[in-house]
Structure 1
Amino acid sequence: MMKIFLFFLLLLVSCFSYSNNSLHNFVQKACNTNDLDTSLIIKIITHESKSYFKSKAQPWPWTLNINGRGYYFNSYAEALTYAKEALKKKPRRFGVGLGQIEWSYHKGRFKDLSEALDPYKNIVVVRDILLEGKRIGITNSYELAAYYHRPVRDSIAFAYADKVFSND
């Protein structure tokens, strides 16, 4: 059953480059809320796991960032195998999946590393982090993007938000 799910998920993700509407629908389904602007999540995941197809930026689900270096894999299995080996070396920074969820801070949001690489669950965690920002009173997308990167919303966080919104 998992193989069938992954096949269809990979098929869906490969279609993202052909249809922004498919990506929007996938994110909307994962978020299951009207409390967040879907386009904000798309901006964040595109920035975080950016790959290019025909010179157009798009998110890529099988992405890792290990100590500041991005790694892009052709499949979930390849990314998971590499991620497990990389974690044995105890990297200082380790970002996982579409949202490049920082493992050291957020691993408790997942049952395990394999779940963190699941695009659907990864987007759910991006949503949850953004909703936490809304619960403390952040109302605009720019500040929510800053919060996503660094809840203290300092100059580093706002520099990140500038990058997320620079492709508007």
Structure 2
Amino acid sequence: MARSVLLILLPIITGYLLLPIASAAYSLPTGYRQVAMIYGVPPELLYVVALNESSALLTAGRLPWPWTINVAGKGYHYATRLEAWSALNNFLKSHPRKRIDVGISQINLGWNGHHFNSTWDAFDPYLNLKAAAVILRACYSRNPGSWLNAAGCFHRPAGGLASKSYKTRVNNNLIILYAGHLEVSDASIKHGYSWIEPKRKER
């Protein structure tokens, strides 16, 4: 990754789509709030999903990075959108689409590529986040009550250990982000977009 290019891009993207996970003064980037409001998804969840999927260690901290590709379980970060798109075209020659995830939310091209008009569009951070929000909302609608479960469904709709492990990672990042355990109800989505996870009842 060309560090000089990242340093140029970082001030442009920071504040709209990027936020260091260890940031002391919490302020969710504008882009996540904008997309979340459209699809009724907690913006905190959308941000942490992106962080889980595409995080890169930059000078400002560990941040979601839009020019990211995962091929058969191996992640690649690129300095520019054009570099990522060119690499994707090469990967598509040797790997099936269901083995390739792209963009800031790592949308799988085989299962969810229909959300984009082109592979170039798949790297657009806002279009990629919109696809993630649609998937998260659909997961929640099928099994309402827990956005953590929706996150697990986003990663692995069939459930199982992969989904459980992903939910744990999401929850751990939320704890770091807010120093608390977070979730949201449909009512709170409509009135401020805060997210507080209901505590388990003691047996």
Shorter-chain TM-score tier: 0.7 to 0.9
Does the C-alpha gap of structure 1 residues 12 and 138 become closer, same or farther in structure 2, counting only changes over 3 Å?
farther
- Could you tell me which residue of structure 1 aligns to residue 63 of structure 2? 58
Note the C-alpha offset of 1:35. 2.1
SS in 2 for 1:99: coil
What is the aligned partner in structure 1 of residue 81 from structure 2? 76
Q: 1:5 corresponds to which residue?
A: none
- Could you tell me the TM-score, scaled by structure 1's length? 0.84
Q: Report which of the two structures shows the higher radius of gyration computed on alpha carbons.
A: 2
How far, CA to CA, are the matches of 1:17 and 1:33 in structure 2? 21
Which aligned pairs between 1:27-106 and structure 2 lie closer than 5 A? 27-33=32-38, 35-54=40-59, 56-91=61-96, 93-106=99-112
Shift of 1:75: 0.5
Distance 1:17 1:155, change over 3 A: closer
Q: Which runs of 5+ in 1 are unaligned?
A: 1-8
Tell me how many residue pairs correspond in the alignment. Answer: 159
Question: What TM-score do you get using the length of structure 2 for normalisation?
Answer: 0.70
**Residues 17 and 31 from structure 1, CA distance in 2 versus in 1: closer, same or farther, beyond 3 angstroms?**
closer
Q: Distance in 2 between matches of 1:138 and 1:152?
A: 16
Contact 2:155–2:166 (CA<8 Å) still a contact in 1?
yes
Among candidates 131, 152, 159, match of residue 165 of structure 2:
159
Structure with the bigger percentage of helix: 1
Q: Is the 8 A contact 2:32 2:46 kept in 1?
A: yes
8 Å contact from structure 2 (residues 140, 149) kept in 1: no
